[in-house]
Amino acid sequence: SSYARVIVGLAKAWQFEQMWDLMEEMDKRAHLHIPAGIFSTVIKCYGRAGDVKGAVATLKRMSDDFSCTPVARTYEALIRVVMDAGQCDTALSVYRAMADRVTYNLVALGCCRSGRLDTCVEIYQEMRSRGFRVSHLAFNSLVCGLCKAGRTDEAWDVLGKSRPSACADAVTLSTVIHALCSSDCDRALELMRAMQAQRVPPNVVTYTSVIDGLCKAGRRDAAMVLLQQMQAAGCSPNTVTYNCLIHSLCKAGKLEDAFALLRGMPSKGCTPSINNKNTLVSGICKHAIMERQRREFGKLGQALFSEAMQESYSVEEDTLALFYTCLEHMFGSNGDRPDKRTYSIVIHFLCKADKVLEAARVWRAMVKRLGQVDAVTYNSFLYGLLKLNDLSEAARLFSEIDKPTLVSYSLLVHAYFKAGDLSKVEEVYQAATGQGLRPDLALYNIVLHGLSGAKQEAGVAHLWAEMLNNGVSPSVATYTILIHALCRDNRLQAARQIIDKMKGQGVLPDAITYNTLLHCLCKNELLDEARLLLREMKQHCSYTPATWNIVIDGILEQRDPGVAQRIFSQLIRDGFFPAHLTYDAFV
């Protein structure tokens, strides 16, 4: 009717006050019945206007003021509005008033999207008990939501275990398989076979997820078999698939197999990526860069690269030089060149093995070829120089870093503390905060430990307060630093209170913490208190050889043999069983 067209026009123009006046006129004066469809349209218009309260009020006025019974479409319109506004509780109250298949699915989908998975699971179970068919969208949203929340077992149950619901699409099945791979590769394989049985072929992402899961579980043979099955099924592995296998083989020390896999990639239609090559470089470095493995390193270089280089090298030659030559051949095979990460990997492991001069050689090659060095590589080289106590060269290198990271500053602060140069420590620390970097727990621990060692009690107290004010929670190591400083000043009661405070805040003391206080108690001949502390220590952590030595040294300091014997006997009754060497010292 003309009235209906005008009402709809006013609603779409968001002229709701005039719209209601006209609707009341229709009802009271013209005695015209307003159909439910118009109210559904009004609710949608309120939703577009962002007025959820108006939409909810429309449903109430529909029955109270206009004697019009809401129908399914009315409820569906309102649920869509409130769910789009993120008001799940309102949607739930509406859905309970008119629960049909559509409203069930709408609310279930909305609850999933808003993270209310428990409510969504309840609705899903209620739908099944009432015989309603779950929509593909709601079902897949629920299963994927459970997986993303780490609730893999529930997702597995909802999916239908090894007989997945017909609602599940390829994306959902792949999501569940990926989630299962982190904990149960067998179920992941079972589900993948079920996919194939339903003629839903797994894609490269699905295969790669399972291969990665098998590799991480140490089941490399099964992963290789699955790779062959993947290729036989016409699904080509990509560089990510191969990288999972290369990393796993390198981790197991099977470097020849890893290199063979890399070299065979082009014949399978997959060109090795720089990441594949870097993974192999990292594996080689981890297994062969240490001094005790130099000879094996040369043999490995020959085994891996002699065919590619068509040359032979004597094991007695400079094996590191051979390694660099091998790198050039490996990366030059298809025009690739080592990137920043390649150089960073090699520099990191050379510095870790105290081969800083070799690292400098790689460093110069990196600068010459790439013209720039990232902060991670700078930090690796900085670490190597500081291991050699070459502080002046490290400081020079630090000055070259365009944007030092917190790690860069932490390394230098630690080095200056070791050198006893507190003024430089202060300078570097202030430079870090001046650059807008917020000190983390690691840096705070370094500075606290250094200040404590330098007996700078005021500095320790100031930095402790700063750390807490900045919202950085102390770790067990942080508390132990503070306890050590208190014990050095024989402030035993304060140290004891710190341990109680730790436990109150859920930070359990470790053996180092207890040994620190224990040493101070024994040094002050407070053996009864030490024995009580040992009882407490036994409840939270294990004794260490240092614990035994601290206690026995304390007993031996006793001039009265009777007291020493009593304490020792009590310790045995408390379950303190020293090693043979400790018994020998006591005897």
Using DSSP's 3-state secondary structure scheme, residue 220 falls into helix
pLDDT digits over 517-536, tens only?
Answer: 999 998 888 888 888 888 88
Asked if residues 168 and 139 have their Cβ atoms less than 8 Å apart, the reply is: yes
- Residues in the chain with pLDDT < 50? 97, 290-294, 296-319, 579-583, 585
Map tokens 């577009």 to a residue.
Answer: 48
Which residues make Cβ contacts (< 8 Å) with residue 537, sequence separation at least 6? 509, 511, 514, 518, 543, 547
pLDDT averaged over every residue in the chain = 78
pLDDT digits over 565-581, tens only?
Answer: 666 676 666 666 554 43
| Domain chopping of the chain, boundaries | 1-134, 530-587
Q: What angle do CA 492, 497, 503 make, to 5 degrees?
A: 135
Amino acid 513: pLDDT: 93
- Report, in this order, helix, strand and coil percent for the chain, each rounded to 5: 75, 0, 25
Asked if residues 476 and 509 have their Cβ atoms less than 8 Å apart, the reply is: yes
DSSP 8-state assignment for residue 98: S
Q: Terminus-to-terminus CA distance in the chain, angstroms?
A: 110
pLDDT digits over 429-461, tens only?
Answer: 999 999 999 999 999 999 999 998 888 888 888
Amino acid 185: pLDDT: 87
Amino acid 314: pLDDT: 39
Asked if residues 140 and 112 have their Cβ atoms less than 8 Å apart, the reply is: no
Type of residue numbered 423: S
In the CATH scheme, what is the code of domain 1-134? 1.25.40.10
Query: Whole-angstrom Cα distance, residue 438 to residue 295?
Result: 45
pTM of the model: 0.63
Query: Whole-angstrom Cα distance, residue 238 to residue 18?
Result: 63
What string of DSSP letters covers 381-431? HHHHHHHTT-HHHHHHHHHH-SS--HHHHHHHHHHHHHHT-HHHHHHHHHH
- Whole-angstrom CA distances from 186 to 42, 97, 104, 191 are 53, 44, 34, 9
3-state secondary structure 471-486: CCCCCHHHHHHHHHHH
- Other CB atoms within 10 A of residue 139 CB: 25
